[in-house]
Amino acid sequence: MSDQLIWNGNNFVFPAGLIPDKEDSRDYKVTDVLGAPQVDWEKGFNVFEELSFAVPNKDQGSSLSCTGQAAAQYARVLHKKLEVEVFDFSPKFIYSQIFLPNGGATLRDAIKIVATQGVAKETLVPSMNGEFSPTEQFMEDTSWKSDAIFADAKSYDQFSYRVIPGQTSDIDLFATSIQQYFGLLLGFTCSNNGWCKPLISVPVKGDVTYGHAVYGCGFGMYQGKKCIFTPNSWGNRYGIPEGRWKGLQAIPEEYFTATIDSAVGPAVGYL
């Protein structure tokens, strides 16, 4: 997460980690294969409970690599579900191949890498700069590229994706997709005021906003609200401190139903 403002020609903004995708008529939609959403919000669902492994503690540092971070987290979960073993996959392998000239990337490009190339193990393409969280320059570096790494990554390309279109307000559809597909990737317009805490809140007028991608790993009730949960990629600084959702952040239903007047952009989910 960058805390450095840049001038976009009109005002100061945070650099955008997530660049919104353009609609593509060729996309396969989640609603083409899922029936009517049926969600037990009181029971909830937590991928890490279901698969019996730990919530990751990942930190993208000052880089804009949230798309790579989210896609690598999802690949880790899907591989655990399919093969039982747990690998940490490399956000840098993904992001360094898709970043745009001013930094940031689209979710479609991140998923396309995983679906066509697979994804390298973190041990082969480290996303931490030694003991330090990565910078943008570090995450954009492609000196890791070799035939051996691409060959190893190809072992993990057994994934495809479907789309939940932007501005979808039905949180039940997102919850059903998470349970059916053991997660999904989400894109939001965010503000630091709204996201630097366990229960995330919608940006308000006057907030400096930016695009951010996360892996959605569960759903349930939190503080009386229907929520989608994410491990995010900002370390464990803002996670829920205890209980069933420890280490995760909660995205409440009002984030999906907010109007454009509150400065919220598309809520886009990828499977």
Identify the pLDDT of residue 259.
Answer: 59
Identify the pLDDT of residue 260.
Answer: 44
Identify the pLDDT of residue 72.
Answer: 96
| Whether the predicted model's global pTM rises above the 0.85 cut | yes
Residue 56 to residue 49: CA distance in whole angstroms: 13
Is 227:250 a contact under the CB 8 Å cutoff? Answer: yes
Identify the pLDDT of residue 10.
Answer: 52
Residue 246 to residue 259: CA distance in whole angstroms: 30
Identify the pLDDT of residue 14.
Answer: 52
**Residue carrying structure tokens 């039940």:** 172
Is 156:179 a contact under the CB 8 Å cutoff? Answer: no
Amino acid at 17: G
In this structure, the strands spanning 184-191 and 45-46 are unpaired
Amino acid at 179: Q
Q: How far is CA 172 from the centre of its chain?
A: 18
List the chain residues with pLDDT less than 50: 1-3, 5-8, 12-13, 260-271
Residue 164 to residue 32: CA distance in whole angstroms: 10
What are the φ/ψ torsions at residue 163 (nearest 5 degrees)? -120, 140
| HEC string for the chain | CCCCCEECCCCEECCCCECCCCCCCCCCEHHHCCCCCCCCCCCCEEHHHHHCCCCCCCECCCCCCHHHHHHHHHHHHHHHHHHCCCCCECHHHHHCCCCCCCCCECHHHHHHHHHHHCCCECCCCCCCECCECCCHHHHHCCCCCCHHHHHHHHHHCCCCCCEECCCCCCHHHHHHHHHHHCCEEEEEEEEHHHHCCCECCCCCCCCCEEEEEEEECEEEEECCEEEEEECCCECECCCCCCCCCCCCEEEECHHHHCCHHHCCCCCEEEC
Is 21:107 a contact under the CB 8 Å cutoff? Answer: yes
- Express each pLDDT in 160-214 by its tens digit: 778 887 778 889 999 999 999 999 999 988 888 999 999 999 988 788 888 999 9
Amino acid at 63: S
